[in-house]
Amino acid sequence: MKTQATEQEMLLNRTGIMTNPELSAELIQGAKEAEPSPDGDLDDIAAKRAEYVEEALPIGSKPMPVAEGDITGAADAEAEGATDAGQALSLLLDKLGERLAFERQGTRLYEGVIQKCELIGDSEGGPSVADLRHIHDEEMEHFKMLQRVITEMGGDATVQTPSADIVGVLSHGILQVVSDPRTTMAQTLQAMLNAELADNDGWQMLITLATSLGRDDLEEDFEKALESEQEHLENVRGWLETLTLSEAQALPAAEDDAASERREHESRSAKKKSSSSRKKKKK
């Protein structure tokens, strides 16, 4: 005889206020009656943060070239208004380091997506393993191209630049979503959409920066990278949209009676349960 519900059968999102209506009513009442301690507003928080902003040092220093590199382009930029060739190069290396870190992490992220796709199997309208492998390989190519570009400029391609550090912090959530075995392909693609959006803007910014610093020689490689990133973005966006819509279409237009009855029954039991647990507490 089955005595205990399985974890699957117990699935019910309990986070909302309506899960335990009677308990919630008490909770709301209590909060309404209480006075804030102390009085004040968000200005206090702003003032506290201001103290730290005032004394804050940068996240880290921008990289400088370590070998004899080519700073001619940067020198040209100086003539056009940049304050110092070294600083310009340093800024460029910082942003190149950012893209390098992003592309390297992107490669690992797509490895995770590929593995998930292999396990779940191709879903209609979603990516195939071959599609994902294609993107993965391009992310890797971009990483290696950036390694070459940074090194040719006299930079150290292994430096974690401040901008690279920032994108590392930003992408932490993406990695968490992709590497979580519980996330669906649509949820995984949602994370990758964030990555691809940021990557597209990142490349555009890099092209603008390189051009403004007189590094037209980088344009061809970078434009090519941006083009493939635009393709990644379109694909990921398309797959996500298709998967989300197909999930909606898979739902019946109107709930069948059985499902409706079951939901009603669950709601009644939840109410009873919360009411009886409150009564017990009162006793």
Partner 1 sequence: MSLDLMKEKGVPLDRQKFNWRDIVQAPTSKLDDDAFTRVRIILMNGIESEALRFQHACARMNKELQLALAQVRRVEQHQQTMVNWLLPADLSPLETTIGFEQVAIEVTASVAQHEPDPYLAQVFRFGLLEDFDHMYRFSALMDRVGGGDSNNLLQSYTDILPGRPTSVEHRAPEDDLRKPYDRKQAHPITKLNAATIMAGEHQTHDYYMTIGPMFADPLARQLYAEIASIEEQHVTQYESIIDPEETWLEKWLLHEAAEIYNYFSCLTYESNPRVKAIWQRFCDYELGHLHFVLDVFRKHEKRDPAEFLPGSLPEPIEYKSHRDFVRETLAKEVDLRARGSKFIPKEEEKDDSPSVVYREQMNSNGSPSDVVAAGYKWKPGTELADETPDIKRLQKKIA
For residue 200, CA distances in Å to 78, 226, 245 come to 27, 6, 25
- Is residue 141 a contact residue for partner 1 (CB under 8 A)? no
CB of 208 to partner 1, least distance (A): 25
Question: Cα dihedral angle (228, 233, 238, 239), rounded to 10 degrees?
Answer: 90
CB of 50 to partner 1, least distance (A): 12
Of the pair 101, 240, the CB lying nearest partner 1 is at 101
Q: Which of 25, 28, 46, 61 binds partner 1 (CB under 8 A)?
A: 61
For residues 139 and 107, the answer to whether their CB atoms sit within 8 Å is yes
Q: Which residue type sits at 165?
A: D
Q: Which residue is listed with tokens 């998930």?
A: 116
Stretch that binds partner 1, among 37-45, 166-174, 197-205, 274-282 (CB under 8 A): 166-174
Q: Which of 78, 96, 99, 104 binds partner 1 (CB under 8 A)?
A: 104
Q: Which of 105, 188, 190, 235 binds partner 1 (CB under 8 A)?
A: 105
- Is residue 106 a contact residue for partner 1 (CB under 8 A)? yes
**Could you tell me which residues come within 8 angstroms of residue 133 by beta carbon, excluding any fewer than 6 positions away?**
114
Q: How far apart are CA 126 and CA 242, in angstroms?
A: 7
Q: Which residue is listed with tokens 């237009």?
A: 253
- Is residue 36 a contact residue for partner 1 (CB under 8 A)? no
Q: Which of 162, 198, 224, 228 binds partner 1 (CB under 8 A)?
A: 162
N-terminal to C-terminal alpha carbon distance within the chain: 34
Of the pair 142, 215, the CB lying nearest partner 1 is at 142
Q: Which of 29, 72, 158, 269 binds partner 1 (CB under 8 A)?
A: 158
- Is residue 136 a contact residue for partner 1 (CB under 8 A)? no
CA atoms in the 13 A half-sphere facing the CB of 207: 14
- Is residue 66 a contact residue for partner 1 (CB under 8 A)? yes
Q: Which of 23, 64, 140, 270 binds partner 1 (CB under 8 A)?
A: 140
Of the pair 78, 139, the CB lying nearest partner 1 is at 139
- Is residue 99 a contact residue for partner 1 (CB under 8 A)? no
How many binding residues for partner 1 (CB under 8 A)?
43
By three-state DSSP, how is residue 1 classified? Answer: coil
Other Cβ atoms closer than 10 A to 159: 21
Q: How far apart are CA 99 and CA 105, in angstroms?
A: 10
Quick note: the x/- pattern for partner 1 over 173-202, rule CB under 8 A, is --xxx-xxx---------------------
Q: Which of 39, 51, 124, 257 binds partner 1 (CB under 8 A)?
A: 51
- Tell me the torsion sign for CA atoms 18, 20, 23, 27: negative
The phi-psi region of residue 81 (left if phi > 0; otherwise alpha if psi is between -120 and 50; otherwise beta) is left
Q: How far apart are CA 248 and CA 225, in angstroms?
A: 35
Interface ranges with partner 1 (CB under 8 A): 51-52, 55-61, 66-67, 101, 104-109, 112, 140, 143-144, 147-148, 151, 156-162, 165-166, 168-169, 172, 175-177, 179-181
